[in-house]
């Protein structure tokens, strides 16, 4: 049975993409074939007559096997605004995304799907990240950017994931502000408040080092859930 995860965040710009690539690399180190997927992306630039997103390009680069760009990012929009506005008159079909996901599952052991924005952020006028994760039947990895307000955001998001009938496979803390006072205290509180394993703490980096970030994820915590979880 093929496995997969849905990566969501407490907000936008909290480290979802770096976490996704780190997860990919960590699982690849364990000998698994892993690919990433960014179903809907806004803020894309035209390359070779195709709109491409920088996050999706990273997933393409770090995939365990060569993939066409559109396999990773079925819906790419140019405007750097919320996808439900950037899509214009384009209908974002959950069936199209699900079909693309299934095709990737047939090629890899694990497919890691990264949402856009937070859990309830819209991907179109009729679809949000929560609805997409439910349609794909995926356990969720929550990325928490440690900053003022993150405790409330994290607890609300965990509650919403549970209400959607999905499991939280774990959460990742990201140090997005190297000078934040009370970082350790906030991390300790969240570790007690979130009923899911802490998979690791990604340190603040000015530029990504995905090998370092991958090794910041805990092997012992990975063993608490099954990457081949049945859909």
Q: What mean pLDDT is predicted for residues 10-37?
A: 95
Residue 63 lies in a domain: yes
Catalytic residue positions? Answer: 38
34: pLDDT strictly greater than 80: yes
Residue 229 lies in a domain: no
Task: Return d(Cα 121, Cα 83) in angstroms, integer.
Answer: 9
User: Residue 76's domain spans which residues?
Assistant: 3-222
Q: What mean pLDDT is predicted for residues 186-196?
A: 96
227: pLDDT strictly greater than 90: no
**Annotated binding residue at 133?**
no
Residue 74 lies in a domain: yes
- The model's pLDDT over 36-67, given as tens digits with 9 standing for 90+, comes to 999 999 999 999 899 999 999 999 999 999 99
Dihedral-angle region of residue 137 (phi above 0 means left; psi in -120 to 50 means alpha; beta otherwise): left
Predicted confidence band at 218 (pLDDT cuts at 50, 70, 90)?
confident
Q: Which CATH number do you get for residue 14?
A: 3.40.50.300
pLDDT of amino acid 140:
97
- Rounded to the nearest 5 percent, the helix, strand and coil shares of the chain are 35, 20, 40
Predicted confidence band at 229 (pLDDT cuts at 50, 70, 90)?
very low
Contact criterion met (CB below 8 Å) for 176 and 204: yes
Residue-wise over 124-158: b if at least 16 C-beta within 10 A, else e? beebbbbbbbeebebbbbbbbbbbeebbebbbebb
Determine the 3-state secondary structure of 69 from DSSP: helix
**Annotated binding residue at 22?**
no
Residue 173 lies in a domain: yes
Contact criterion met (CB below 8 Å) for 170 and 199: yes
* In the block, residue with structure tokens 């990742």: 172
Residue 186 lies in a domain: yes
Q: Which residues pair with 5 in a beta bridge?
A: 112
The tally of domains found in the chain comes to: 1
pTM of the model: 0.93
Q: What is the mean pLDDT of the chain?
A: 93
Residue 150 lies in a domain: yes
**Annotated binding residue at 14?**
no
Residue 231 lies in a domain: no
Residue 228 lies in a domain: no
**Annotated binding residue at 115?**
yes
């Amino acid at each position: 049975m093929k496995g997969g995860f849905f990566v969501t965040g407490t907000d936008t710009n909290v480290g979802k993409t770096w976490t996704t690539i780190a997860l990919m690399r960590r699982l690849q180190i364990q000998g698994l074939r892993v690919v990433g997927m960014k179903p809907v992306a806004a803020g894309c630039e035209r390359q070779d007559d195709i709109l491409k997103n920088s996050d999706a390009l990273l997933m393409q680069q770090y995939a365990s096997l060569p993939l066409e760009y559109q396999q990773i990012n079925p819906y790419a929009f140019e405007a750097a605004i919320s996808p439900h506005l950037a899509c214009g008159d384009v209908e974002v079909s959950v069936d199209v995304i699900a079909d693309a996901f299934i095709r990737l599952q047939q090629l890899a052991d694990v497919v890691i799907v990264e949402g856009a924005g937070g859990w309830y952020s819209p991907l179109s006028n009729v679809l949000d990240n929560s609805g997409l994760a439910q349609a794909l039947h995926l356990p969720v990895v929550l990325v928490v950017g440690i900053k003022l307000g993150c405790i409330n955001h994290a607890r609300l998001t965990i509650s919403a994931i549970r209400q959607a009938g999905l499991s939280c496979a774990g959460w990742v803390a990201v140090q997005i502000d190297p000078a934040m006072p009370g970082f350790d205290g906030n991390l300790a509180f969240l570790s007690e408040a979130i009923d899911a394993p802490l998979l690791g703490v990604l340190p603040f980096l000015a530029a990504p080092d995905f090998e370092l970030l991958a090794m910041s994820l805990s092997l012992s915590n990975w063993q608490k859930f099954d990457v081949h979880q049945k859909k």
